Structure 1
Amino acid sequence: MTQETDRLFAQPLPQIPDFVFNEAVVRVFPDMIKRSVPGYPTIVENIGVLAAQFAQPHSVLYDLGCSLGAVTQALRRHVQTPDCRVIAVDNSSAMVERCTEYLHAQDSMFQELLPVEVLEADILDLVLQPASLVALNFTLQFIQPEQRLGLLARIRQSLLPGGALILSEKLRFADDEEQALLTDLHIAFKRANGYSELEIAQKRNAIENVMKPDSLGQHRERLLAAGFSKVVPWFQCLNFASLIALP
C-alpha cells in the first residue's frame, strides 16, 4: 500500500489524454487530492461526524464513488449506531482493489467497526437499498450533467425519513470576476503545495473534458427538483464546497 508523490504531469506530454482513475492515479491519489483540493481532510473527517447524527439502526450508509475509501473509513470511525453497514461503490477496478486493502488495514487497527462491502459498479446502475446516509464526495461532477438529476432522484427515493445526502463538489461561479478570483486562488493553493506551472496546466487540460462543475445555485435547484426539501451548505474552502440535502 505504498503511497507515492504525484508526479504524473511533471514532464511535458506530447499528447494529454483525458483523466482516468487508473492504476497510475491510484498510486498517487492520496497525495494528489491532498495537494489539489483545499479542505479535503476536513471534509472527509467531518462527513463521518455528520453521518453519526443521521445514521439509523438497521440501515445502509453509502459511499458512492468511494475511490480509496477515505469517507468509508471516516464513517466507520465515527458511526456507532447499531446494525448499520457501509456499502462503498466505485467503477474503477484499481480504486476498488486498493480501497479493499486500506479497509482491511483499518480492520486490523480497530475493533467493532461497522461492516463494509466494497463493490465495483457504476453508481448509475446501482439498485439502492434503504439508506440513512448517502455520501457523494467529489463524485457527481464526473457524472454526465444530463444524468445527475436522475441519480439524485434515486438517492432521494432510497433515503429513510430523517436521513441525509452529503454532497461535496468543486464549484463554478456565475459571476465571471468571482470565478476568475477563485480559480486564481486555487492555482495559488496548488503552487503552495509544490505543483509546477506545467503540472497545473497539463492536469487542467486532462480533466477539463471529464469533470464538469456546477454552481451552488444549480446544485440547490437540482436537489430540490430531485425531491429534497432542504439544502444546507456546511463547508466551503475556495471553490470547493459540501452540502447536506435533507429528504
Structure 2
Amino acid sequence: MSSPRDSIYATPQGEVADFAFDDRVAEVFPDMISRSVPGYATIVQTMGMLAGQYAQENSKVYDLGCSLGATSIAMKQHIKQAGVEIIGVDNSEAMVQRCQAHVNAWRGEVPVHIECADILDVSLEPCSVVAMNFTMQFIDPDQREALVQKIYDALLPGGMLLLSEKVRHLDETAENILVDLHHEFKRQNGYSELEISQKRAAIENVMRIDTPGQHLARLGAAGFSTVQNWYRCFNFMSWFAIK
C-alpha cells in the first residue's frame, strides 16, 4: 500500500519539536519507516511467518504498538489456526484512526481488532504470540521490565514474544560506525542532511534505546527459556523469545 512521501523535516524548522506520532507522521509513516529502517519489510514478513508457526488455536495474538498495522497484516496473512484473534494496540489516535481500514484491506481469515490505548495499561488476556515492532524504545525505561513481565505472564506455555528494536552499543567506535552506516542508508533512500539532522534532534528525547545486553537481561529475568536474535542490520535487531 503506497503512502505520501515523507518530507516532514525537509525544510528548516528552527527549534525542532519532539517527535510525535501525530497526523503528519501517520500520513507518511509507511514511507518514513521503509526509508529509515533497513530490512523493515523482511522484519515484518518474518514476524508474520513466526506468528503463523506459533499461534495456538483459540488464542489471542497481540500487536503492541501496532501503528498502521503492518505487523498485524503480516500475522493475519500467515496465521491459519482456528479461533485466533489479533488485537492491535496503539496510543496514537492518528495511527488507530487509519489502522483498522489498513488491516481490513488485506485478505485473511483471522479477525483483527484495533484499540487505542496505552499498552502499559492494557490487561493482556492469555495469548500465544505478542509482537512489539520498534515499540519498546518509546516506553519509559523504568516501565520496561514490568511490561516484559506482564507479557511473559500472559503468554501460554510455548508462546512467543517477537521483539524488534533499535539498539546502541557500549563500544564508542562500533557505535559511531553503525550510526554512520545508518545515516548513509537514509541518504541513499533520498533523505537530505537537513532531514537526517532534524529528525535526529526531534527523536533524541523521545526514543531512548537500550543495548542488546539490556534486552537479553530483561527477557531472561522475565523467565523466557529460549531467546534468539534472528535479524541484525547496523543498529537494528530482532529477537524471538519463547516461554
TM-score range, shorter chain: over 0.9
Which of 139, 143, 149 is equivalent to 1:143?
Answer: 139
Give the equivalent residue in structure 2 for 1:86.
86
Question: Are positions 1:172 and 2:168 aligned together?
Answer: yes
Distance (whole Å) between structure 2 residues aligned to residue 2 and residue 221 of structure 1:
38
Distance (whole Å) between structure 2 residues aligned to residue 230 and residue 9 of structure 1:
41
The correspondence of residues 1-247 of structure 1 with structure 2, limited to 5 A, is 3-106=3-106, 110=107, 112-247=108-243
The letter for the 1-side match of 2:165 is: E
TM-score (norm 2): 0.98
Distance (whole Å) between structure 2 residues aligned to residue 128 and residue 222 of structure 1:
19
Distance (whole Å) between structure 2 residues aligned to residue 123 and residue 100 of structure 1:
17
Can you give the 5+ residue segments of structure 1 that lack an aligned partner in the other structure? Answer: none
Q: How far off its partner does 1:2 sit? A: 7.0
Distance (whole Å) between structure 2 residues aligned to residue 230 and residue 221 of structure 1:
12
CA contact (8 A) 1:2 1:27 kept: no
Identify the range of structure 1 (158-167 vs 112-121) with the bigger mean alpha-carbon deviation.
Answer: 112-121
Distance (whole Å) between structure 2 residues aligned to residue 192 and residue 45 of structure 1:
23
Distance (whole Å) between structure 2 residues aligned to residue 246 and residue 2 of structure 1:
34
Distance (whole Å) between structure 1 residues aligned to residue 171 and residue 48 of structure 2:
33
CA contact (8 A) 2:2 2:30 kept: no
TM-score (norm 1): 0.96
Secondary structure at 1:18 match in 2: coil
Once superposed, which parts of structure 1, at least 4 consecutive aligned residues long, lie more than 4 Å away? none
Distance (whole Å) between structure 2 residues aligned to residue 183 and residue 14 of structure 1:
24
Distance (whole Å) between structure 1 residues aligned to residue 103 and residue 51 of structure 2:
18
Identical-pair percentage: 53
CA contact (8 A) 2:168 2:210 kept: yes
Q: How far off its partner does 1:96 sit? A: 0.3
Secondary structure at 1:200 match in 2: helix
Q: How far off its partner does 1:174 sit? A: 1.1
Q: How far off its partner does 1:104 sit? A: 2.2
CA contact (8 A) 1:140 1:169 kept: yes
Secondary structure at 1:205 match in 2: helix
- In the comparison of the two structures, how many residue pairs are matched? 243
The letter for the 2-side match of 1:55 is: A
The letter for the 1-side match of 2:153 is: Q
Q: How far off its partner does 1:180 sit? A: 0.5
Q: How far off its partner does 1:233 sit? A: 0.4
Distance (whole Å) between structure 1 residues aligned to residue 172 and residue 227 of structure 2:
24
Secondary structure at 2:152 match in 1: helix
Q: How far off its partner does 1:237 sit? A: 1.2
CA contact (8 A) 1:168 1:242 kept: yes
Distance (whole Å) between structure 2 residues aligned to residue 2 and residue 72 of structure 1:
17
Secondary structure at 1:206 match in 2: helix
Can you give the 5+ residue segments of structure 2 that lack an aligned partner in the other structure? Answer: none
Q: Pairwise CA RMSD of aligned residues?
A: 1.0
